[in-house]
Structure 1
Amino acid sequence: MKQYTVLLSALILLIATGCATTKDVAYLQYAEKQMKTEARTLQEATIKPKDILTVNIQASKPELVASFNGIYWTPQQQYSSMQSGMRTFLVDNSGEVDLPVLGLTKLGGLSLREAEEVVKKALTAYLNEVPSVNVQIQNYRYSVLGEVHKPGAFVSANGKVTLFEALANAGDLTIYGIRDRVKILRENSDGSTTIATINLTDPEIINSPYYYLQQGDVLYVMPNNAIASSSNISSGTTVWISISSIALTVANLLITILRR
């Protein structure tokens, strides 16, 4: 009877926890001791519709660029803030930004450095000098959902985040997350959405175009069969399992007492 009790208890525990091995949960699995990727262009953020930008301009005549930087220029030639923080500009659906002096300026599809050159060139004639321009994306946001410890939306301060950095910010995958079928949802410039499947156990993932996330990406970690099956267990089934476990424990106790 004890053997049946132990076997049944082990079976219940096995069903509850699933059968996970190191091969199921380890990242970047490969035989070689060292691996090096091929040289490629470093990731740089690209401006997209609905991005929120800051455009900071510095010139020898600061009163001429004050409106860019979110400040009023007083007659006493002193700065006073228009609002807390820097002034921001929204990229519309056509990729254009309504900038002071310049008006609607096409920045969508450009990298930050390319956008800086466009603004710099347009302002040079107005200022009679080459200004210093700095363009930044303020809402470089991505989301991590599913079997992670801290799902949610996150913002990258420098416009560059890898898959593993995103997972680290979300507290890493739980033991129930499927490592070799992680989904990435990415909105394209034409409004369509691409859904890609990536394998975190494959070291070649670092060469994937999805290794670096883009603003608006959604990373979804699917649950494994053990956790998915457990979600279908009704409360009544759970009660019956508990009653069966108690009954087996009582029966085992009675047998032990009667044998004395």
Structure 2
Amino acid sequence: MKPKNIHFLYLILLVTATSCIPLKDIKYIQPDEKLKLNEHGMIEFNRPVYHLQVNDMINIRVATREGLKLEELREFTTTPSQTTGNSNSSSPSGKSVRVQEDGNIELPRIGKIYLLGLTLQQAREKVETEFYKIYEQSAAFIEINMPGINFTVVGEAASGNYFVPQYDFNLLEAFAMAGDLTPVADRNNIQILRTTPEGTQRAVVDITKESVMNSEYFWLQPNDVIIINPRRQKQWGIGLNPIQTVTTIFGGIASIIGIYFFFKNL
């Protein structure tokens, strides 16, 4: 083989090797020596406790004993018969209220209650305190929760706003909900923007490593924004694997040769 041809072959191999995406950069949750296990040999999760923010919607349910009616809070109230499947129940799950710009929620007769920055447990205790200033403590049981998690996905996936009616939801489940990541998604540098009462946090996680499950950012919180940037192969447009790369290169060469002979014969 002529030296010129050898050099050309080396060039093709070099471009192929540098432009393809390695399998290790596509696979999720690969073995990682940084993974932390607890004393029982189980993965050590670090799911953060959520603190209420402005515009959060929370569900409040007041469960009363049979025969007791709290007229002012009837939209929030359920009785034992309602929670066991009574079809006449108008509000078996309580009612949602919004955390207003001043950090308060407002309930009939009770008035404003400041909940900004509190956990759900702290919020329940504070609502109970205000509730029992007016009503008997034995009259009702108060339950507070959030309707679910809303999050946003931007970039190399089915971008959009999503909502899931549960509280334990992780990145892998979010990717599945968004139709999975594209082959050119940079799985080593997933960016997460998270709002807190103190401001916005930014984190970068590597979803190809199993140690990501130890991260607090593996678990989604309401209002999270997940940014999935593309790898440089997308900008080059050469290919995702060796076959695609070689096909694209030779296709480009064939096009250049065809254009050359077309103008040469004019």
Which TM-score applies when normalising by structure 2? Answer: 0.69
Tell me if 1:151 matches 2:159. Answer: yes
How far, CA to CA, are the matches of 1:241 and 1:196 in structure 2? Answer: 40
Whether the aligned pair in 2 keeps the contact of 1:54 and 1:87 (CA below 8 Å) is yes
Offset at residue 29 of structure 1 (A):
2.2
Tell me if 1:206 matches 2:213. Answer: yes
Superposed CA offset, 1:181-202 (max 9, x none) = 1111112313x32221111122
Q: Which has the higher contact order (CA 8 A, sep 6+)?
A: 2
Partner of 2:23: 22
| Percent identical | 24
How far, CA to CA, are the matches of 2:200 and 2:237 in structure 1? Answer: 31
1:59-138 → structure 2 map (5 Å cutoff): 59-60=64-65, 61-64=68-71, 65-69=73-77, 87-130=95-138, 131-138=140-147
Offset at residue 41 of structure 1 (A):
6.6
How far, CA to CA, are the matches of 2:174 and 2:69 in structure 1? Answer: 39
Whether the aligned pair in 2 keeps the contact of 1:182 and 1:219 (CA below 8 Å) is yes
Offset at residue 162 of structure 1 (A):
1.1
Offset at residue 97 of structure 1 (A):
0.6
Question: Counterpart of 1:212 in structure 2: which amino acid?
Answer: W
Whether the aligned pair in 1 keeps the contact of 2:47 and 2:219 (CA below 8 Å) is no
Change over 3 Å in CA distance of 1:113–1:206 after alignment to 2: same
**Runs of 5+ consecutive residues of structure 1 not aligned to the other structure:** 71-78, 232-239, 252-260
Partner of 2:255: 244
Q: Could you say what secondary structure the match of 2:59 adopts?
A: strand
How far, CA to CA, are the matches of 1:221 and 1:39 in structure 2? Answer: 25
Change over 3 Å in CA distance of 1:154–1:189 after alignment to 2: same
Question: Counterpart of 1:244 in structure 2: which amino acid?
Answer: S
Partner of 1:194: 201
Structure 1, 221-230 or 176-185: larger mean CA deviation: 221-230
What stretches of structure 1 move > 6 A for 4+ residues in a row?
A: none
Q: Could you say what secondary structure the match of 2:25 adopts?
A: helix
Offset at residue 222 of structure 1 (A):
0.8
Name the Cα RMSD after superposition.
Answer: 3.7
Change over 3 Å in CA distance of 1:42–1:28 after alignment to 2: closer
Superposed CA offset, 1:40-73 (max 9, x none) = 6755443211101221111132334314359xxx
Q: Could you say what secondary structure the match of 1:47 adopts?
A: coil
Whether the aligned pair in 2 keeps the contact of 1:45 and 1:160 (CA below 8 Å) is no
Question: Counterpart of 1:51 in structure 2: which amino acid?
Answer: D
- In the comparison of the two structures, how many residue pairs are matched? 221
Offset at residue 180 of structure 1 (A):
0.7
How far, CA to CA, are the matches of 1:219 and 1:31 in structure 2? Answer: 23
How far, CA to CA, are the matches of 1:95 and 1:158 in structure 2? Answer: 24
